[in-house]
Amino acid sequence: MPLAPPARAAVLLAAGSLLLTGCGDAKAGPAKAAVTLDNCGHEVRVPAVPEHAVSLNQGTTEILLSLGLADRLAGTATWTDPVLKGLEKANARVPRLADDNPSFERVLDADPDFVAASFVSTLGKGGVATREQFEKLGVPTYVSPSDCAGKDNSGNGDGARDKALGIDTVYGEVRDLATVFGVPERGDELVASLQRRMRKATSDIDASDVTLLYWFANSESPYLAGCCGAPGIITRALGAKNVFDDTHEEWPQVNWETVADRDPEVLVIGDLTRKSQTAESAAKKIAFLESNPVTRNMEAVRHKRYVLLSGQAMNPTIRTVEGVERVAAGLRRFGLAE
């Protein structure tokens, strides 16, 4: 990232001083008590309930909007899908800083007093900025624990997991953010609602003989789900099998010949609205599958066994519960689950 010119750097430092001063003033009342969290190896101290937060990924944004915190958001960024149904009006009140990663300066222009992200890479080198850069200016940061728990993000790509992610980690993020914003009861209510939906979607279903493949994006070198991220939560909840559960990479890129050899019974397809990869929409993915000589004779393609998911449902977010619901409904529709 290019260094700020001297004049701009002075402005940024001044903004940091104002943020620190504002946080100090806000601590006076009991509702403004400081919160300290152990988050992805960082001790995060939030000295006051955030009033001007920025969410850098859609996953964290939808949690905050679901908690009724639109009035506390100064900006959002990095969207793969339309906002979760029911949150349209709340989302429309929040400035969108960028459809993808905004610049560090663009975020600072929003005068944030708290910054949240769904991915370590967003608040790391090559992302928007490092956590340390924000924290030097007095801005606490938070990263979804789902992107850290049992996961190594040090290599290239989307990281690898040494143990399977559980939905309880997503629930933990909801409760963390609700606590930071002083609305813990809303967090409990949202988690309880998600838990009820999970129980309903998975009750009396047996998909133990069904093989799945999850395709997120890119037709030339497709990103397919490994064993242990959000698609793993969906697969295990239904008792099915991911044909690439022998890889611990989050989203390995696999050639189509290997995909055809594994020949899954059902394809779970990301239906994205962003434009950063080839074949983002489900329609383009399906057109590719049905015209490509390597894939068109796969069982799932011949029988048109497609389940469409938002990109957010294929990442560890509150929408992963929606992923469980949709895949369960698809398996029942195809007559593959009892």
138 lies in some domain: yes
End position of a domain, from candidates 143, 168, 183: 143
Residue 17 confidence (pLDDT): 35
For residue 144, the tally of other CB atoms under 10 A from its CB is 28
Q: Enumerate the β-bridge partners of residue 306.
A: 267
Would you place residue 4 in the very low, low, confident or very high pLDDT band (cuts 50, 70, 90)? very low
Tell me, yes or no, whether 324 and 237 share the same domain.
yes
Tell me, yes or no, whether 36 and 120 share the same domain.
yes
Would you place residue 15 in the very low, low, confident or very high pLDDT band (cuts 50, 70, 90)? very low
Residue 165 has pLDDT above 80, yes or no: yes
1 lies in some domain: no
User: What's the distance, CA 115 to chain centroid?
Assistant: 15
Q: Enumerate the β-bridge partners of residue 268.
A: 214, 307
199 lies in some domain: no
CATH number at residue 22: 3.40.50.1980
328 lies in some domain: yes
Owning domain of residue 74: 6-143
Which structure tokens are listed for 79? 């969207």
In terms of Cβ atoms closer than 10 Å to its own Cβ (0-12, 13-18, 19+), residue 208 is: exposed
217 lies in some domain: yes
Tell me, yes or no, whether 138 and 255 share the same domain.
no
161 lies in some domain: no
Tell me, yes or no, whether 308 and 227 share the same domain.
yes
- Structural domain total, the chain: 2
Would you place residue 157 in the very low, low, confident or very high pLDDT band (cuts 50, 70, 90)? confident
Tokens 């068109």, residue? 296
Would you place residue 33 in the very low, low, confident or very high pLDDT band (cuts 50, 70, 90)? low
End position of a domain, from candidates 90, 110, 143: 143
The angle at the Cα of 327, spanning 159 to 293, to the nearest 5 degrees, equals 75
299-329 pLDDT, tens digit per residue, is: 999 999 999 999 999 999 999 999 999 999 9
Q: Are strands 73-77 and 96-98 parallel, antiparallel or unpaired?
A: parallel
Give the lowest-confidence range in 48-52, 87-91, 205-209. 205-209
